[in-house]
Chain A
Amino acid sequence: MSEEFKATTQTARPTDASSAHRKPSAKEQAWEKNTLQPTLERNPERQAEFTTISGYPIRRLYTQADLANWDPDRDLGCPGEPPYTRGIHSTMHRGRLWTMRQFAGFGAAEDTNQRFRYLLAQGQTGLSTAFDLPTLMGYDSDHALSEGEVGKCGVAISSLADMEVLFDKIPLANVTTSMTINSPAAVIWAMYLAVAEKQGADWKKLAGTLQNDILKEYIAQKEYIYPPEPSMRLVIDTFEFGVKNTPKFNPISISGYHIREAGSTAIQELAFTLRDGLEYVEWGMRRGLDVDVFVPQLSFFFNAHSDFFEEIAKYRAARRIWHKAMVERYGSKNPRAWALRFHTQTAGCSLTAQQPYNNVVRTALQALSAVLGGTQSLHTNSLDEAWALPTEFAATIALRTQQIIAHETGVANTVDPLGGSYFVETLTNEVERGAWDYIERIDAMGGMVAAIERSYPQREIAEASYRYQMDLDKKEKIMVGVNDFVSEEKPLDTLQIDESVAHRQAERLSKLRAARSKEEVVRRLNALRTAAEGKDNLMPFIFDAVKSYATLGEICDAMRDVFGTYEEVAIT
């Protein structure tokens, strides 16, 4: 590791700098002397240092002295107004609850269609689609590299024919639909739009979200196909297409979730995600898109990890940073471009295989932090996900967890109930400052694509994840049931996906290839290839190819021919 990286890694764990400037009141000073000190002499605290799960230092007590330069009108403001610390809507969850959007997908399209319809019948209010690894990597189910992976991590979608089955009897005009797909996002989106068209839905009214965040793939999740430049072009093509054709659809969900799952700290998650967001804005502007027109369609996606207050501070700081960047960096005049909207998923990496029922409790607390942080939609993980994809039983408890928070706890009765807390406001300030430090460092490298090419965010995350594992091994951080409070449990019943899905898919694909017009498919794939060599927006060409029932693999291959593929420099 170079000296430069060693030096920057240090700031991943910011020092407790702000306490040096604290000027405690006379009352607080007297308390320290008369009450606190004698207590500490008799009963020392449990640990020498208290830190968040990210390793961020937390002080004993937060008071007015921590907020000496804090101006509630300027820094907190009112909900629905800049700087959006308290949320992006004036009535927040009193007006409308967050969307309960459970991520689901397994087996073949008909299996997932059934789960979707079950979840909607249970009161879920939006759909979220998980695709299997071959689909995520742009391979058909019958490709050699798909062996053993078909339908395992999500649903297998190889063509428009599969997509028609996936959304059968689900009115896309009325159900907002999210699709977790990145490298082949433009292709899967074209399939979705084709199904919507067949259902007679007006594209202008379609609402939902495409994940389509390629930058975090290079940084964290690593499901990339093409190199960064052509991948970014495809993303901006979807923005441009969306502005014209689907004004209510989010063409991207700029995701911190996977960055966090890869082992980042909360501050890194926030900083890298928002810097990714700024990168997309800048590429969109270079295409000639108007910030005030396309930015309102960009959405975000964060992780809800286990450190309750750190997470709440992260969501609040995210809104403040985005507002500031849109106004100060890009001169945005449209308040809809200033307001950061986000989806949240509870932390998969916090789930334990041991004593799996404890995961219900973890997930509930994480979900609560997302709600208190002002999320617009939420996925709660199932208790069995450290073992397998969730059973219907486990997925139902996860959904019920959200319904209990929404309807029983009373936390949605008021806007930003933690606003004004000395601790939460101080932590929000500190998390924001830590994120700006990273953002400015990446600016200095020439932006996020440049930073990725020198493995900067990848190294920072690897460093943080190793540190956390060492903390667990040394029991400096505790995971209940894993490195403390250990007990034996009976195994769970888990969802099994066998190879029959792969066989069904292979059969369906060979029938499809026999039934469609070969000439038409070849003609449209060639048109796409030619367009890829030029500068045209590729969405119309992809849409045409999809409608001729060209497969996902064929369409991605046409672009592989032109763009090539990407290999990362593996760092350990």
Chain B
Amino acid sequence: MPEKKIRVLIAKPGLDGHDRGAKVIARALRDAGMEVIYTGLRQTPEMIASAAVQEDVDVIGLSILSGAHNTICPQLMNLLRDKGMNDVTVLVGGIIPESDIAPLKKAGIAEIFLPGTSTQDIIDFIHKRVSMH
């Protein structure tokens, strides 16, 4: 039987429109055999959490370059918990100051990928992480 494809939601929360990273990652994960849903721009945490439930995803990838991560990430994690999505792996990519990384991980973000990360590192992380669950 073919292995079930890993399902990933790539989301662009907040008002920022810089979508280069989100689009490159979406395509790289798709090329790596994952099922990728891209939300498009300007998604609220509520919209992202609902899409995650509806699409029954294993992974949510948030692309944030705007400095709004400390507001958006905890809100999303609370909403996911409320919706019973405790197993979903939430990743963040973008411009994140060093000092914010530990608090974000404490809030439940599985990993933070900074500029310069190779797409292969993200693919490998997802494979490893999803096989654990």
Contact residue among A469, A492, A494, A568 (Cβ-Cβ distance under 8 Å from B119): A469
Q: Which A residues between 237 and 280 are near B, CB-CB below 8 angstroms?
A: 261-263
CA distance A171 to B54 in the complex (A): 55
A352 beta carbon closer than 8 Å to chain B: yes
B17 touches A222 (CB 8 A): yes
A133 touches B15 (CB 8 A): yes
Question: Which segment, of B24-32, B77-85, B103-111, faces chain A?
Answer: B24-32
Question: Which segment, of A147-155, A307-315, A326-334, A519-527, faces chain B?
Answer: A147-155
Residues of B within 8 A of A472 (CB): 118
A352 touches B115 (CB 8 A): yes
Tell me the smallest distance from the CB of B28 to a CB of chain A, in Å. Answer: 7
B116 touches A491 (CB 8 A): no
A494 touches B98 (CB 8 A): yes
Q: Which A residues between 492 and 539 are near B, CB-CB below 8 angstroms?
A: 492, 494, 496-497, 499
B20 beta carbon closer than 8 Å to chain A: yes
A559 beta carbon closer than 8 Å to chain B: no
Q: Mark B8-34 against chain A: 1 for CB-CB distance below 8 A, else 0.
A: 001000111111101110111010000
Residues of A within 8 A of B115 (CB): 351-353, 386
CA distance A491 to B42 in the complex (A): 31
B18 touches A222 (CB 8 A): yes
Contact residue among A133, A351, A352 (Cβ-Cβ distance under 8 Å from B14): A133
B116 touches A482 (CB 8 A): yes
A203 beta carbon closer than 8 Å to chain B: no
Q: Which A residues between 343 and 399 are near B, CB-CB below 8 angstroms?
A: 349, 351-354, 386-389
CA distance A10 to B17 in the complex (A): 27
Residues of A within 8 A of B97 (CB): 387-388, 494, 496
B41 touches A570 (CB 8 A): yes
CA distance A153 to B39 in the complex (A): 23
CA distance A465 to B27 in the complex (A): 11
Tell me the smallest distance from the CB of B66 to a CB of chain A, in Å. Answer: 6
Q: Which A residues between 145 and 196 are near B, CB-CB below 8 angstroms?
A: 145-149, 152-153
Tell me the smallest distance from the CB of A564 to a CB of chain B, in Å. Answer: 16
Q: Which B residues between 82 and 123 are near A, CB-CB below 8 angstroms?
A: 95, 97-99, 114-116, 118-120
Contact residue among A351, A481, A491, A567 (Cβ-Cβ distance under 8 Å from B98): A491
Residues of B within 8 A of A222 (CB): 17-19, 41
Interface size on A, residues (CB 8 A): 51
Residues of A within 8 A of B120 (CB): 473
Contact residue among B17, B19, B24, B71 (Cβ-Cβ distance under 8 Å from A148): B71
Contact residue among A148, A353, A483 (Cβ-Cβ distance under 8 Å from B68): A148
A262 touches B20 (CB 8 A): yes
CA distance A494 to B101 in the complex (A): 13
B20 touches A152 (CB 8 A): no
Interface of A is mostly: loop
CA distance A351 to B116 in the complex (A): 9
CA distance A567 to B97 in the complex (A): 31
B62 beta carbon closer than 8 Å to chain A: no
Range of interface residues on B (Cβ < 8 Å): 35 or more
Tell me the smallest distance from the CB of B9 to a CB of chain A, in Å. Answer: 12
A570 touches B15 (CB 8 A): no
B72 beta carbon closer than 8 Å to chain A: yes
CA distance A479 to B30 in the complex (A): 25
Q: Report the nearest B residue to A499, measured CB to CB.
A: B71
A442 beta carbon closer than 8 Å to chain B: no
Residues of A within 8 A of B15 (CB): 133-134, 136-137, 139, 145-146, 149, 223
Residues of B within 8 A of A466 (CB): 23-24, 27-28
Residues of A within 8 A of B41 (CB): 222, 568, 570
A148 touches B14 (CB 8 A): yes
Residues of B within 8 A of A223 (CB): 15, 17
A149 touches B68 (CB 8 A): yes
A572 beta carbon closer than 8 Å to chain B: yes
Q: Report the nearest B residue to A139, measured CB to CB.
A: B15
Tell me the smallest distance from the CB of B121 to a CB of chain A, in Å. Answer: 9
B116 touches A352 (CB 8 A): yes
CA distance A494 to B114 in the complex (A): 15
Residues of B within 8 A of A351 (CB): 115
B52 beta carbon closer than 8 Å to chain A: no
A497 touches B67 (CB 8 A): yes
A285 beta carbon closer than 8 Å to chain B: no
Q: Report the nearest B residue to A490, measured CB to CB.
A: B98
B36 beta carbon closer than 8 Å to chain A: yes
A462 beta carbon closer than 8 Å to chain B: yes
A37 beta carbon closer than 8 Å to chain B: no
Q: Mark A222-245 against chain B: 1 for CB-CB distance below 8 A, else 0.
A: 111000000000000000000000
Tell me the smallest distance from the CB of B72 to a CB of chain A, in Å. Answer: 6
CA distance A492 to B15 in the complex (A): 27
CA distance A389 to B22 in the complex (A): 21
A221 beta carbon closer than 8 Å to chain B: yes
Q: Report the nearest B residue to A223, measured CB to CB.
A: B17
User: Given A134-B15, A149-B66, A483-B118, A387–B95 Cβ distance below 8 Å?
Assistant: yes
Q: Report the nearest A residue to B72, measured CB to CB.
A: A148
CA distance A134 to B15 in the complex (A): 7
Residues of B within 8 A of A568 (CB): 40-41
CA distance A561 to B4 in the complex (A): 46
CA distance A101 to B47 in the complex (A): 39
A153 touches B67 (CB 8 A): yes
B70 beta carbon closer than 8 Å to chain A: yes
CA distance A545 to B69 in the complex (A): 34
Tell me the smallest distance from the CB of A216 to a CB of chain B, in Å. Answer: 11
| Top 5 A-B residue pairs of the complex, sorted by shortest distance between their CB atoms | A148-B71, A222-B17, A152-B67, A570-B40, A148-B68
A-B contact pairs, 6 of them (CB 8 A): A133-B66, A149-B66, A387-B95, A469-B119, A496-B99, A572-B27
Interface contacts beyond A152-B67, A262-B19: sample of 20 additional A-B pairs, CB < 8 Å, sorted by A: A133-B14, A133-B68, A137-B15, A152-B68, A223-B15, A261-B18, A263-B24, A352-B115, A387-B95, A466-B24, A466-B27, A466-B28, A469-B24, A469-B119, A481-B116, A483-B116, A494-B97, A494-B98, A497-B67, A570-B39
Chain A residues with CB under 8 Å of chain B are 133-134, 136-137, 139, 145-149, 152-153, 217, 221-224, 261-263, 349, 351-354, 386-389, 462, 465-466, 469-470, 472-473, 479, 481-483, 491-492, 494, 496-497, 499, 567-568, 570-572
